[in-house]
Structure 1
Amino acid sequence: MSVVEIFQKGGATMLPLLFLSILALSVIIERVWFWTSVLLKEREIVNRVLDAARRDWGAAKEIAQQAHEQPIGRFLYNPLQLENADPEMFRLALETTADEELSSMRRGDKVLEAVIALSPLLGLLGTVIGLIISLGSIRLGDIGTASTAGVTAGIGEALISTAAGLIVAILSLIFYRLFQGLLFNQVKIFRKAGNDLELLYRQYWIDQRSKHP
């Protein structure tokens, strides 16, 4: 069967399933593009900022500001832009920015969750409707006769919507779990980068206090 025939035989719920699949696909493409950009650049940004912070905090701030379009760049820049901040304020700035950036990385998750939940239900609804239509055309006197031959084909067609719903849900779930794994990895990266930067700043703060008691 062609795609058009599948949609025709799948019933009325195929259109909502098509909408959900397009919605999920758009989110997946946007998230893949986002994560590809993040993963390719963040390690270099972290290393450059930390290396600069060991020598010159002004240079570290400038590097982080140049990477402001990246989540890790914004995360490192926010505390560095503070003037004469004490270590506790520096740490609070890191934690606040980390929460904001990690939360923004979850964009699209709710859409995928909705698609994963709704697609199988819509597919099942389409199958139930198809079965009602197919079985509703049978009369008791026709059972076992040639006139019921089309019912089997009708039931098979009714199952198309369930299969379509499961396919959409499974593919969405695969990418959803992938994005969740990437987000979990980002938590570790943010924590390590933040701890390293905070330790460097605390040492810098102690040195400055010892020079200017």
Structure 2
Amino acid sequence: MLSLIQAAGWPIWPIIFASIIAVGIIGERMWTLRIRIVSPRELLPRVLNEYNRNGVSADMIVRLQKHSPLGQILAAGLKNVRSTREIMKESIEESGRVVAHDLDRYLTTLGTIASLSPLLGLLGTLVGMIEIFGSSSPAGSNPAQLAYGISIALYNAAFGILVAIPSMIFYRHFRAKVDALVVEMELQALKLVEIVHGERQN
């Protein structure tokens, strides 16, 4: 691996740095965006059961806010449980926007890496081309410098693409997953509003 890095020259280091960041973001988002962490299916029935038994309490609100992103949304609705249906929905929508923003964390960076990595590879290719042209002189060409320029050009182009492809795949995967989770939480919150206001049975 060290020999490949040496053959690719200094332009490879930004690509390596970008790949480390991308791997870190992918691992963190895979762990964070699990459905049982973001929108656990058993939470709404538990909340409704506690609401029917004891009503809304400050302790219940605090526990929900700390529980999960879905808990934060349900807590926002229950804070306004004595208000009209419209006000309760508005508070849920406001909380939902904040939660959706949190779920999107780091995805812009991952998308930037996916777009930028091929350009970093192109930069390495250009540096390699400069080395190739520099190997020529009136006295003849320098084979060692020519080979080094070719290796810089090819390795950087390849590494840039290798970083960009999985970064783009995971970026699109996580964006779709966030959208699905947001829809799921909206449905759960709407169900809470309808049940609390007597428009729907459990």
Q: Under TM normalisation by the shorter chain, which class is it?
A: 0.7 to 0.9
1:63 deviates by 5.9
Residue type of the alignment partner of 2:101: S
1:160 counterpart (155, 158, 171) = 155
Aligned to 2:65: 68
Aligned to 1:194: 189
Asked if structure 1 preserves the Cα contact closer than 8 Å seen for 2:113 and 2:164, the reply is yes
Aligned to 1:125: 123
Q: 1:164 to 1:101 in 2, by over 3 A?
A: same
Mapped to 2, the partners of 1:47 and 1:114 lie a distance apart of 40
1:99 deviates by 0.9
Q: 1:37 to 1:87 in 2, by over 3 A?
A: closer
Q: 1:16 to 1:169 in 2, by over 3 A?
A: same
Aligned to 1:207: none
Q: 1:177 to 1:39 in 2, by over 3 A?
A: farther
| Identity fraction in percent | 29
Q: Are residue 46 (structure 1) and residue 41 (structure 2) matched?
A: no
Mapped to 1, the partners of 2:14 and 2:36 lie a distance apart of 33
Asked if structure 1 preserves the Cα contact closer than 8 Å seen for 2:125 and 2:156, the reply is yes
Structure 1: state its 5+ residue gaps: 205-213
Q: Cα deviation per residue 1:57-84 (whole Å; 9 max; x = unaligned)? A: 6279866643433100111111112362
**What pairs up with 1:4-43 in 2 under 5 angstroms?**
4-36=2-34, 38=36, 42-43=40-41
**Between Structure 1 and Structure 2, whose CA radius of gyration is higher?**
1
Q: Cα deviation per residue 1:133-154 (whole Å; 9 max; x = unaligned)? A: 02321246748xxx65873564
1:176 deviates by 0.7
Deviates more, 1:92-101 or 1:150-159: 150-159
Mapped to 2, the partners of 1:89 and 1:179 lie a distance apart of 31
Q: 1:158 to 1:105 in 2, by over 3 A?
A: same
Deviates more, 1:131-140 or 1:107-116: 131-140
Q: Are residue 100 (structure 1) and residue 98 (structure 2) matched?
A: yes
Mapped to 2, the partners of 1:203 and 1:161 lie a distance apart of 63
TM, length-normalised to structure 1: 0.80
Q: 1:113 to 1:32 in 2, by over 3 A?
A: same
Residue type of the alignment partner of 2:2: V
Aligned to 1:114: 112
Residue type of the alignment partner of 1:138: S
2:55 counterpart (51, 58, 62) = 58
Asked if structure 2 preserves the Cα contact closer than 8 Å seen for 1:134 and 1:154, the reply is yes
Mapped to 2, the partners of 1:154 and 1:201 lie a distance apart of 70
Secondary structure in structure 1 of the residue aligned to 2:136? coil
Mapped to 1, the partners of 2:36 and 2:131 lie a distance apart of 51
TM, length-normalised to structure 2: 0.84
